[in-house]
Amino acid sequence: MDFALILASVSFVLAVVWGPLLIRILRHYRIGKRIRIDGPRGHQTKFGTPTMGGLMIVVPVLLITLVLNIYNLISQTPVGRSILIPLGVMLAYAIIGAVDDIAGVRGVRRGEGLSGRRKLMWEIPLTLVVAVIMQLLPMQFAGQVDVPSFHRSIDLGWAWTPIAAFVILSSANAVNLTDGLDGLAGTVVAGAFVGYGVIALLQGQEYLVQFCFTIVGACFAFLWYNAHPAQLFMGDTGSLALGATLGTVALMTGQWLLLPVVALIPVAETVSVLLQILYFKYTKRKYGQGRRLFKMSPLHHHFELLGWSETQVVQRFWLVEVLAVMAGVALALWN
């Protein structure tokens, strides 16, 4: 654990140092965020803020983890094969997110980037391949699930594969929906990785502990520039990559049933979007005119339109997330 904390510090320093250069590069190529016209008015001032800031997290994490595991990777040890899974997922989803961010900058779909259906066409096959690889590799918890208070793992066989793909896919898009306010996604994701880092520590998966805390350090560095008012946005490059990686780590611990608890805020954001869509369609069919359940979704915008300041929303959501992480770790200890 002590080495994992050192790695978090190293990751933080590297990412902070590389941050100003990244911001200059993004500004030079005019990779700036476009803002929804129907969003809260306070967000209009953010137009043009550099996006694709997820690179500040992804690049240091990939480099540190690869350097740390050179021997394991060359020797193809179980640890080497295992660590390639979350690294591969992070890189692949970062690429998908980067394509989406660039499309948004170029004005595709009025600056919203690729459609959800278009992204799913890439994400679904990718997650299925990852799930099959995880099932075939001799990983500790592949094909299994730990149920709190059950005191043993349950083997799901090949039924685990589509479940694993769904966990990764839903986690990626849940964090993507959470990324909408200065500092929100970064704090929430950092907290969730701390939770799963502790769970991995309880299981003796030292390499996974180190990986989680490397991400935490990089997230803190990103927050250095993303704190309100943000100099840099995470973009889909970061949110999709971090969300998918979080789902992958949850699967690797066997404690993926706890993901809705540990990642309570992203889950709540996702549920708010789904409820908004379903309620709108239901009322349109029943009354001839669609109605909204929330003032705006995802959930953080609803609270903004209720009168909460952006900082209040972020801090209060973060407090809830910290308590959720504590509850998730407590449930893991229950095993």
pLDDT, residue 293, reads: 92
- The continuous run of DSSP H or E covering 212 comes out as helix 206-226
Q: Which is more confident, 18 or 39?
A: 18
The pLDDT of residue 20 is above 70: yes
The pLDDT of residue 46 is above 70: no
pLDDT, residue 77, reads: 86
The pLDDT of residue 44 is above 70: no
Q: How confident is the model at residue 35 (pLDDT cuts 50, 70, 90)?
A: low
The pLDDT of residue 8 is above 90: yes
pLDDT, residue 72, reads: 85
Q: Determine what percent of the chain falls in helix, strand and coil, rounding each to the nearest 5.
A: 75, 0, 25
- The continuous run of DSSP H or E covering 145 comes out as strand 144-146
* Cβ atoms 296, 280 nearer than 8 A: no
Between 84-88, 95-99, 117-121, 217-221, the lowest mean confidence (pLDDT) is in: 117-121
The structure's pTM equals 0.94
The pLDDT of residue 263 is above 80: yes
pLDDT, residue 113, reads: 75
pLDDT, residue 105, reads: 84
Taken in order 134, 137, 143, 146, is the CA torsion positive or negative? Answer: negative
pLDDT, residue 116, reads: 82
pLDDT, residue 42, reads: 57
* Cβ atoms 240, 92 nearer than 8 A: no
pLDDT, residue 120, reads: 92
Query: What percentage of the chain carries pLDDT values higher than 70?
Result: 94
Q: How far is CA 245 from CA 45, 239, 289, 322, in A?
A: 31, 10, 40, 19
Residue 292 CA, distance from chain mean position: 27
Q: Strand 144-146 and strand 153-155: pairing?
A: antiparallel
The pLDDT of residue 30 is above 90: no
pLDDT, residue 210, reads: 96
Cα separation of 15 and 295, whole Å?
A: 37
Mean pLDDT for the stretch of residues 110-136 = 89
Q: Which residues pair with 145 in a beta bridge?
A: 154
Taken in order 80, 85, 86, 90, is the CA torsion positive or negative? Answer: positive
For the stretch 143-170, pLDDT in tens is 888 887 777 788 888 899 999 999 999 9
Tell me the three-class secondary structure of 243-261, residue by residue.
HHHHHHHHHHHCCHHHHHH
Q: How far is CA 247 from CA 79, 150, 272, in A?
A: 19, 22, 20
* Mean pLDDT value across the chain: 91
| DSSP code at position 230 | P
Between 71-85, 198-212, 239-253, the lowest mean confidence (pLDDT) is in: 71-85
Q: Is 137 helix (H, G, I), strand (E, B) or coil?
A: coil
The torsion defined by the Cα of 110, 116, 119 and 121, in degrees rounded to 10, comes to -130
Query: What percentage of the chain carries pLDDT values higher than 90?
Result: 72
Between 86-90, 110-114, 131-135, 326-330, the lowest mean confidence (pLDDT) is in: 110-114
Cα separation of 263 and 81, whole Å?
A: 26
Q: Which is more confident, 141 or 100?
A: 100
Cα separation of 274 and 183, whole Å?
A: 24
Between 5-19, 30-44, 101-115, the lowest mean confidence (pLDDT) is in: 30-44
